[in-house]
A and B are shown apart, each in its own frame.
Chain A
């Protein structure tokens, strides 16, 4: 025993090294299985506060750009108002009819941390569980899909960016109905790849790629990008489509978080299929 302790003492440098590396590795593996403690993510209080005050400071330098963005968004929202639809009152509806309930709620939030240069990019936003945000809600900006909520603390949430090689989003070609999985390859932050579109579909450069609405996270038809290039390997029965993302991830300041009020209902129903 004495000799053993002496041995450890003499090689304390190596042993400490091994212990620290094992701890690091443990954190790394835990992180990969998505089960790490929330306090280690950037939604925790200290780093959240620092990022928040930093973004408060830089916000002033970008006011003009942000104003422009907000004005554009205003215009977009106005175009969505009932008054801008000609025949919105032409049908009658039952009071308390569940079918007429609003399905999606939007909450705006500000981006306080963001990256595009890693393999696994995450975004931090300044709204959390106190604002009604929950895990696995969709995040969009005025220009298109941004990501999905991953962790929530009281005042902050972290978002898996679309620029994260672990995230796949169900997408389809607008007006065609063929759907596939869209994901990022870790290379250029302006482009993502859409796979699993069958070869008999007609795809042309410039087609719009939108969310499919099958995942219960995003509503149908939210813009993701436009087709930039269509690749077809010999012997393959699926296209590989390069999509130019409509969101500029380097220039992201305001986002909206979508909550699907009927999500649980859909998932409940779908889980019975697996039995």
Chain B
């Protein structure tokens, strides 16, 4: 557990920088806007205590806010997503529960499980984020459309990132 710490710190900074410098500048047709930094919350080990999970989510969201001039917006959505995570993990646990030494990854629990896990959390996060951003319900359809397209794009990138992790583990 403790020897994985540097890896997590490194991935925190890499994800924040990628989000701020690359993904915040991506947009197709003014709708699609991937928020890949939430992959950090996806990656955290099963044993992570609740309060650490929430505090990390808050710090992560606030860091992104700092760069995109939106104090409170990303931190609100990310903390909410982190709050849902333990109950979701319980709800979709495999029959023989989570094994010690494994992480929530495509490699350890397979495609279907990982899809359920990431789709739910991404949709929660993006829905809150985009509705806070718009701040009213008058653009509801264009906002829903943005949520769906952006979630798809975020998920594609999350899965691509998982494939990289997959390869690294195999080599070991």
What is the interface of chain A, defined by CB distance below 8 A to chain B? 12-13, 16-17, 20-21, 23-32, 36, 40-42, 44, 46-47, 50-51, 54, 113, 115-120, 122, 158, 186-189
Chosen A-B contacts, 14 in total, with CB atoms closer than 8 Å, are A21-B80, A23-B75, A24-B75, A27-B65, A28-B73, A28-B132, A41-B69, A47-B20, A115-B68, A116-B30, A118-B33, A122-B69, A187-B142, A188-B30
- Roughly how many angstroms separate A158 CA and B70 CA in the complex, as a whole number? 12
Per-residue CB contact flags for chain B residues 8-26 toward chain A (1 = under 8 Å, else 0) read 0000000001001100110
Give which listed residue, B51, B67, B86, contacts A42 with CB less than 8 A: B67
Per-residue CB contact flags for chain B residues 103-138 toward chain A (1 = under 8 Å, else 0) read 000000000000000000000000000001111000
The answer on a CB contact under 8 Å between A27 and B68 is no
Which A residues lie within 8 Å of B21 (CB)? 54
Q: What residue of chain A has the Cβ atom nearest to residue B80's Cβ?
A: A21
Q: What residue of chain B has the Cβ atom nearest to residue A39's Cβ?
A: B66
- Roughly how many angstroms separate A95 CA and B71 CA in the complex, as a whole number? 51
Query: Which residues, 124 to 167 on B, are CB-close (under 8 Å) to A?
Result: 132-135, 139, 142
Q: What residue of chain A has the Cβ atom nearest to residue B26's Cβ?
A: A117
Which B residues lie within 8 Å of A25 (CB)? 72, 76
The answer on a CB contact under 8 Å between A187 and B68 is no
What is the interface of chain B, defined by CB distance below 8 A to chain A? 17, 20-21, 24-25, 27, 30, 33, 50-51, 54-55, 57-58, 61, 65-73, 75-76, 79-80, 83, 86, 132-135, 139, 142
Q: What residue of chain A has the Cβ atom nearest to residue B49's Cβ?
A: A13
The answer on a CB contact under 8 Å between A24 and B139 is no
Total number of A-B contacts with CB less than 8 angstroms? 99
The answer on a CB contact under 8 Å between A16 and B70 is no
- Roughly how many angstroms separate A144 CA and B160 CA in the complex, as a whole number? 41
The answer on a CB contact under 8 Å between B72 and A119 is no
Query: In the assembled complex, how far is the CB of residue A126 from the closest CB belonging to chain B, in whole angstroms?
Result: 16
Which B residues lie within 8 Å of A54 (CB)? 21
The answer on a CB contact under 8 Å between B142 and A158 is no
The answer on a CB contact under 8 Å between A120 and B27 is no
State the 9 A-B residue pairs at the shortest beta-carbon distance, nearest first: A27-B72, A28-B72, A13-B50, A24-B76, A117-B27, A27-B71, A122-B69, A24-B75, A24-B72
Query: In the assembled complex, how far is the CB of residue A134 from the closest CB belonging to chain B, in whole angstroms?
Result: 19
The answer on a CB contact under 8 Å between A16 and B134 is no
Give which listed residue, B17, B25, B75, B80, contacts A27 with CB less than 8 A: B75
- Roughly how many angstroms separate A108 CA and B98 CA in the complex, as a whole number? 59
